[in-house]
Amino acid sequence: MAIPASHPLPAVPASPAVISIRALKTHCSNCSVRELCLPVGLEQDALQQLDQLVTNRVRLKKGEVLYRAGDPFSALYAIRTGSCKTTVLAENGHEQVAGYHMLGDMIGMDGIGTDRHGSQAVALEDSEYCVLPFDRLDELARSIEPLRRNLYQFLSREISRDHSVMLLLGSMRAEERLAAFLLNLSQRYRERGYSSTEFVLRMSREEIGSYIGLKLETVSRLFSRFQAEGLIRVQGRAVKLLDIPTLKQLIGQRC
C-alpha cells in the first residue's frame, strides 16, 4: 500500500491552486489510493483509459465547497487527498452532516438519479478531488467489466454505509454513537495505511454532533468522559484511542 504508514499525509507537491490541472503526473495508475478507489482490480490498459477520463482535478481549501445541493450533476468525485463532509438540507432549512469522507472515497453519487446534487460537499481541510464526468465514466464502464463492477460497488457500498448510520442514529445511545464513530474512523485510517489509534479529527464538535445526532455539548462531554475513563486521549481534535476493546464492548453489548 502507498502512504508511509504512520500518519501524516504525503506532502502534496507544491503546485498552483488552479482548478484544472492537465498533464500533471497524477494518474490513477500511480495514485496512492488506487487500491481503494475506482481503479482497483483494473488491467493496465483499462487503467490507461481511466486515466484519460480523469483529466480534471479540483483543489479546495478548508471550507470551500465542491458542489451544492441543487447544482446540476455532471460528475462523481474521488478524493485524492484530504477529507470533506457531505451535508443534506431538510426542507425546513436544517442542515445535517451525512458523511465524513477521506481519500479514496467517492462522493456525489446521490446526484445520478435526479441530475441534481442532493447534498453539499465541503472540504474539511485542503484537499484534492478527481473529477469523473459521469457520462464518460458510464460509457467507459460499458466496455470495461471490472470498472462497471467497481462503480456498482461504490453505489452499493454507499447504501450500506448509510444503513449503518441509520442504525447508529436510530438505536444507539450517545456513548455508543461516539464509540462507533471513533472506531469507524480508526478502521478507515487503517485501511488507508495510517495509524488506526492516533489521528486528527477534521470536524468540529458541532459537525461530529450533527453527524451522529447529538448536540455539540454532549459530544464534548463524552470526549471528556472517555478520557477520564482511560478509553481515549483527546487534545482538541487530536485523538488517541487507548482502549479499543472497551470501546468495542461499548457498542457490542446492548440488545
Partner DNA sequence: CGACTAGTTGAGGCCAGTCAATGTTGGTGG
Partner DNA sequence: CCACCAACATTGACTGGCCTCAACTAGTCG
Let me know: does 215 contact 27? Beta carbons within 8 Å: no
Look at the block and give the residue holding cell 456513548.
175
79's enclosing H/E stretch is strand 75-81
Burial of 191 (0-12, 13-18, 19+ CB in 10 A): middle
Q: Which of 29, 48, 52, 156 binds its own copies (CB under 8 A)?
A: 156
Shortest CB 2 distance to its own copies, Å: 23
> Of 177, 184, 141, 139, whose CA–CA distance to 160 is shortest?
184
> For its own copies, which residue of 13, 16, 170, 236 counts as binding (CB under 8 A)?
170
- The binding track of 172-211 with respect to DNA, each residue x by CB under 7 A or -, is -xxx----------------------------xxx--x--
Cα distance between residue 47 and residue 34, in whole Å: 10
What residue 170 binds from its own copies, DNA, none (CB within 5 to 8 A, per partner kind)? Answer: its own copies
Beta strand pairing status for 95-102 and 65-67? Answer: unpaired
Contact string 52-81 vs its own copies (x = CB under 8 A): ------------------------------
Asked whether position 125 contacts its own copies by CB under 8 A, the answer is no
Residue ranges that bind its own copies, judged by CB under 8 A: 88, 90-94, 96, 98, 109-114, 118-119, 138, 142, 148, 152-160, 162-167, 169-171, 210-213, 251-255
